[in-house]
Amino acid sequence: MNIFWTMLRRDLLLAYRRRADVLTSLFFFVIVVSLFPLGVGPERSTLRLIAPGVVWVAALLAAMLSLNRLFAADHQDGTLEQMALAPVPLALIVLAKVLAHWMVSGLPLALMAPVLGLQFDLPGHALGILVISLVLGTPVLSLIGAIGAALTLGLRGGGVLLSLLVLPLYIPVLIFGAGAVESSMIGMSPQGHLSLLGAFLLLALLATPFVAASALKIAME
Protein backbone atom coordinates (compact mmCIF):
# COMPACT_ATOMS: atom_id res chain seq x y z
CA MET A 1 0.00 0.00 0.00
CA ASN A 2 3.00 2.22 0.63
CA ILE A 3 3.84 2.27 -3.05
CA PHE A 4 0.32 3.46 -3.79
CA TRP A 5 0.77 6.64 -1.75
CA THR A 6 4.28 7.21 -3.04
CA MET A 7 3.03 6.88 -6.59
CA LEU A 8 0.09 9.19 -5.94
CA ARG A 9 2.31 11.83 -4.36
CA ARG A 10 4.81 11.58 -7.21
CA ASP A 11 2.17 12.00 -9.92
CA LEU A 12 0.56 14.91 -8.10
CA LEU A 13 3.94 16.56 -7.73
CA LEU A 14 4.65 16.08 -11.43
CA ALA A 15 1.24 17.53 -12.28
CA TYR A 16 1.93 20.47 -9.98
CA ARG A 17 5.19 21.17 -11.78
CA ARG A 18 3.28 21.23 -15.07
CA ARG A 19 0.36 23.34 -13.90
CA ALA A 20 -0.25 24.72 -17.39
CA ASP A 21 -1.41 21.30 -18.64
CA VAL A 22 -3.98 21.02 -15.89
CA LEU A 23 -5.26 24.51 -16.48
CA THR A 24 -5.52 23.90 -20.23
CA SER A 25 -8.12 21.17 -19.91
CA LEU A 26 -10.01 23.14 -17.28
CA PHE A 27 -10.17 26.19 -19.56
CA PHE A 28 -11.17 23.94 -22.44
CA PHE A 29 -14.12 22.79 -20.34
CA VAL A 30 -15.11 26.37 -19.50
CA ILE A 31 -14.84 27.58 -23.07
CA VAL A 32 -16.77 24.66 -24.61
CA VAL A 33 -19.63 25.09 -22.14
CA SER A 34 -19.70 28.85 -22.69
CA LEU A 35 -19.93 28.39 -26.46
CA PHE A 36 -23.31 26.68 -26.30
CA PRO A 37 -25.42 29.71 -25.34
CA LEU A 38 -23.78 31.54 -28.24
CA GLY A 39 -24.78 28.77 -30.61
CA VAL A 40 -28.22 28.01 -29.23
CA GLY A 41 -29.36 31.49 -28.24
CA PRO A 42 -29.80 33.16 -24.86
CA GLU A 43 -33.35 31.92 -24.22
CA ARG A 44 -33.22 30.96 -20.55
CA SER A 45 -35.73 28.11 -20.62
CA THR A 46 -33.86 26.46 -23.52
CA LEU A 47 -30.54 26.88 -21.76
CA ARG A 48 -31.89 25.32 -18.59
CA LEU A 49 -33.15 22.38 -20.65
CA ILE A 50 -29.83 21.63 -22.32
CA ALA A 51 -27.54 22.52 -19.40
CA PRO A 52 -27.07 19.03 -17.88
CA GLY A 53 -26.23 17.47 -21.22
CA VAL A 54 -23.93 20.30 -22.29
CA VAL A 55 -21.94 20.33 -19.05
CA TRP A 56 -21.63 16.56 -19.07
CA VAL A 57 -20.57 16.28 -22.71
CA ALA A 58 -18.01 19.04 -22.16
CA ALA A 59 -16.74 17.16 -19.09
CA LEU A 60 -16.38 14.00 -21.19
CA LEU A 61 -14.35 15.86 -23.81
CA ALA A 62 -12.19 17.65 -21.24
CA ALA A 63 -11.45 14.39 -19.43
CA MET A 64 -10.46 12.89 -22.78
CA LEU A 65 -8.06 15.72 -23.50
CA SER A 66 -5.58 14.84 -20.78
CA LEU A 67 -5.96 11.06 -21.00
CA ASN A 68 -3.14 10.38 -23.45
CA ARG A 69 -0.72 11.99 -21.00
CA LEU A 70 -1.65 9.42 -18.36
CA PHE A 71 1.11 6.94 -19.24
CA ALA A 72 2.93 8.67 -22.11
CA ALA A 73 5.71 10.43 -20.17
CA ASP A 74 6.50 7.39 -18.03
CA HIS A 75 6.51 5.23 -21.13
CA GLN A 76 8.94 7.49 -22.96
CA ASP A 77 11.58 7.67 -20.24
CA GLY A 78 11.28 3.98 -19.39
CA THR A 79 9.88 4.49 -15.90
CA LEU A 80 6.80 2.49 -16.82
CA GLU A 81 8.86 -0.60 -17.55
CA GLN A 82 10.53 -0.31 -14.17
CA MET A 83 7.09 -0.08 -12.60
CA ALA A 84 5.96 -3.20 -14.43
CA LEU A 85 8.99 -5.05 -13.06
CA ALA A 86 8.41 -3.82 -9.51
CA PRO A 87 7.37 -6.48 -6.98
CA VAL A 88 3.90 -4.95 -6.60
CA PRO A 89 0.90 -5.52 -8.83
CA LEU A 90 0.91 -3.14 -11.77
CA ALA A 91 -2.84 -2.67 -11.26
CA LEU A 92 -2.12 -0.91 -7.95
CA ILE A 93 0.25 1.51 -9.64
CA VAL A 94 -2.30 2.09 -12.38
CA LEU A 95 -4.93 2.83 -9.76
CA ALA A 96 -2.67 5.40 -8.10
CA LYS A 97 -1.92 7.06 -11.41
CA VAL A 98 -5.61 7.16 -12.33
CA LEU A 99 -6.48 8.65 -8.96
CA ALA A 100 -3.83 11.34 -9.43
CA HIS A 101 -5.16 11.99 -12.94
CA TRP A 102 -8.67 12.37 -11.62
CA MET A 103 -7.58 14.72 -8.85
CA VAL A 104 -5.99 17.09 -11.32
CA SER A 105 -8.51 16.73 -14.18
CA GLY A 106 -11.88 15.45 -12.93
CA LEU A 107 -12.13 17.09 -9.53
CA PRO A 108 -11.46 20.65 -10.78
CA LEU A 109 -14.19 20.17 -13.39
CA ALA A 110 -16.67 19.14 -10.73
CA LEU A 111 -15.75 22.13 -8.56
CA MET A 112 -15.93 24.50 -11.53
CA ALA A 113 -19.29 23.18 -12.75
CA PRO A 114 -21.61 25.24 -10.47
CA VAL A 115 -20.23 28.48 -11.89
CA LEU A 116 -20.98 27.23 -15.40
CA GLY A 117 -24.38 25.99 -14.27
CA LEU A 118 -25.22 29.54 -13.21
CA GLN A 119 -24.58 30.69 -16.79
CA PHE A 120 -27.35 28.29 -17.79
CA ASP A 121 -29.72 29.53 -15.11
CA LEU A 122 -29.75 26.22 -13.22
CA PRO A 123 -31.56 26.34 -9.85
CA GLY A 124 -29.54 25.88 -6.66
CA HIS A 125 -30.43 22.28 -5.83
CA ALA A 126 -29.68 21.20 -9.41
CA LEU A 127 -26.22 22.76 -9.07
CA GLY A 128 -25.59 20.60 -6.03
CA ILE A 129 -26.69 17.46 -7.87
CA LEU A 130 -24.50 18.46 -10.83
CA VAL A 131 -21.45 18.57 -8.58
CA ILE A 132 -22.32 15.26 -6.91
CA SER A 133 -22.93 13.55 -10.26
CA LEU A 134 -19.62 14.85 -11.61
CA VAL A 135 -17.75 13.75 -8.48
CA LEU A 136 -19.21 10.26 -8.86
CA GLY A 137 -18.96 10.09 -12.65
CA THR A 138 -15.62 11.63 -13.60
CA PRO A 139 -13.57 8.95 -11.77
CA VAL A 140 -15.31 6.37 -13.98
CA LEU A 141 -14.22 8.37 -17.01
CA SER A 142 -10.61 8.36 -15.80
CA LEU A 143 -10.75 4.64 -15.01
CA ILE A 144 -12.21 3.59 -18.37
CA GLY A 145 -9.96 6.10 -20.08
CA ALA A 146 -6.92 4.41 -18.52
CA ILE A 147 -7.72 1.27 -20.55
CA GLY A 148 -7.89 3.33 -23.73
CA ALA A 149 -4.69 5.21 -22.86
CA ALA A 150 -2.89 1.91 -22.23
CA LEU A 151 -4.13 0.37 -25.48
CA THR A 152 -3.06 3.36 -27.60
CA LEU A 153 0.26 3.90 -25.82
CA GLY A 154 2.91 5.06 -28.28
CA LEU A 155 0.71 4.77 -31.38
CA ARG A 156 0.65 7.38 -34.11
CA GLY A 157 -2.51 9.45 -33.96
CA GLY A 158 -3.00 8.14 -30.44
CA GLY A 159 -5.08 11.05 -29.22
CA VAL A 160 -7.86 10.85 -31.79
CA LEU A 161 -7.82 7.06 -31.73
CA LEU A 162 -8.17 7.15 -27.96
CA SER A 163 -11.34 9.23 -28.17
CA LEU A 164 -12.74 6.85 -30.79
CA LEU A 165 -12.22 3.89 -28.46
CA VAL A 166 -13.29 5.44 -25.21
CA LEU A 167 -16.21 7.76 -26.02
CA PRO A 168 -18.71 4.96 -26.83
CA LEU A 169 -17.87 3.35 -23.51
CA TYR A 170 -18.64 6.61 -21.70
CA ILE A 171 -22.28 6.61 -22.78
CA PRO A 172 -23.81 5.04 -19.63
CA VAL A 173 -21.99 7.57 -17.43
CA LEU A 174 -23.22 10.41 -19.62
CA ILE A 175 -26.81 9.16 -19.54
CA PHE A 176 -27.01 8.78 -15.78
CA GLY A 177 -24.88 11.81 -14.96
CA ALA A 178 -26.97 14.18 -17.04
CA GLY A 179 -30.11 12.27 -16.04
CA ALA A 180 -29.49 12.92 -12.34
CA VAL A 181 -29.38 16.68 -12.87
CA GLU A 182 -32.35 16.59 -15.18
CA SER A 183 -34.55 14.63 -12.80
CA SER A 184 -33.68 16.96 -9.92
CA MET A 185 -34.76 19.87 -12.10
CA ILE A 186 -38.19 18.38 -12.82
CA GLY A 187 -38.72 17.68 -9.15
CA MET A 188 -37.92 13.98 -9.13
CA SER A 189 -35.44 12.33 -6.84
CA PRO A 190 -32.02 11.95 -8.49
CA GLN A 191 -31.15 9.16 -6.08
CA GLY A 192 -31.66 6.34 -8.59
CA HIS A 193 -29.31 7.92 -11.10
CA LEU A 194 -26.72 8.69 -8.47
CA SER A 195 -26.80 5.16 -7.05
CA LEU A 196 -26.27 3.76 -10.54
CA LEU A 197 -23.33 6.12 -11.04
CA GLY A 198 -21.96 4.88 -7.73
CA ALA A 199 -22.41 1.29 -8.88
CA PHE A 200 -20.51 2.06 -12.11
CA LEU A 201 -17.76 3.63 -10.02
CA LEU A 202 -17.43 0.54 -7.83
CA LEU A 203 -17.44 -1.79 -10.83
CA ALA A 204 -14.87 0.34 -12.64
CA LEU A 205 -12.67 0.55 -9.53
CA LEU A 206 -12.67 -3.23 -9.21
CA ALA A 207 -12.15 -4.17 -12.84
CA THR A 208 -10.46 -1.46 -14.89
CA PRO A 209 -7.06 -1.27 -13.11
CA PHE A 210 -6.44 -4.93 -13.94
CA VAL A 211 -7.56 -4.53 -17.55
CA ALA A 212 -5.46 -1.39 -17.96
CA ALA A 213 -2.46 -3.14 -16.38
CA SER A 214 -2.66 -6.05 -18.83
CA ALA A 215 -3.10 -3.59 -21.70
CA LEU A 216 0.06 -1.80 -20.53
CA LYS A 217 1.97 -5.07 -20.45
CA ILE A 218 0.89 -5.76 -24.02
CA ALA A 219 1.98 -2.29 -25.11
CA MET A 220 5.42 -2.75 -23.54
CA GLU A 221 6.18 -6.23 -24.91
Q: Which residues bind other proteins (CB under 8 A)?
A: 147, 151-152, 155-158, 161, 164-165, 167-169, 171-172, 175-176, 179, 183, 200, 207, 211, 214-215, 218-219, 221
**In angstroms, what is the minimal distance from the CB of 178 to other proteins?**
9
Work out how close the CB of 80 gets to other proteins at its nearest, in angstroms, rounded to a whole number.
15
CB of 44 to other proteins, least distance (A): 21
Of 34 and 214, nearer to other proteins (C-beta) is 214
**For other proteins, which is the closer residue by CB, 124 or 168?**
168
- What is the helix (H) or strand (E) element at residue 120, kind and residue range? none
The C-alpha atoms of residue 182 and residue 125 are separated, in whole angstroms, by 11
| Phi, psi values for residue 78, rounded to 5° | 85, 0
Distance (Å) of CA 34 to CA 53, 76, 215: 13, 36, 36
- Tell me how far, at minimum, the Cβ of 6 lies from other proteins, in Å: 28
CB of 143 to other proteins, least distance (A): 12
Instruction: State which residue, 24 or 214, has the beta carbon closest to other proteins.
Output: 214
Nearer residue to other proteins within complex by CB, 14 or 165: 165
Secondary structure letter of residue 190 according to DSSP: T
**Between residues 103 and 219, which has the closer beta carbon with respect to other proteins?**
219
Residue 95 beta carbon to other proteins: minimum distance, rounded to whole angstroms: 17
Return phi, psi of residue 66, to 5°.
-95, 0
Q: Following DSSP, what letter does each residue of 51-68 receive, concatenated?
A: HHHHHHHHHHHHHHHTTT
For the CA atoms of 182, 187, 190, 193, what is the dihedral angle to 10 degrees? -50
The Cα 195–Cα 97 span in angstroms is 25
- 1, 10, 78, 107, 169 from 92: Cα distances, Å: 8, 14, 18, 21, 23
Name the residue nearer to other proteins (CB basis): 8 or 57. Answer: 57
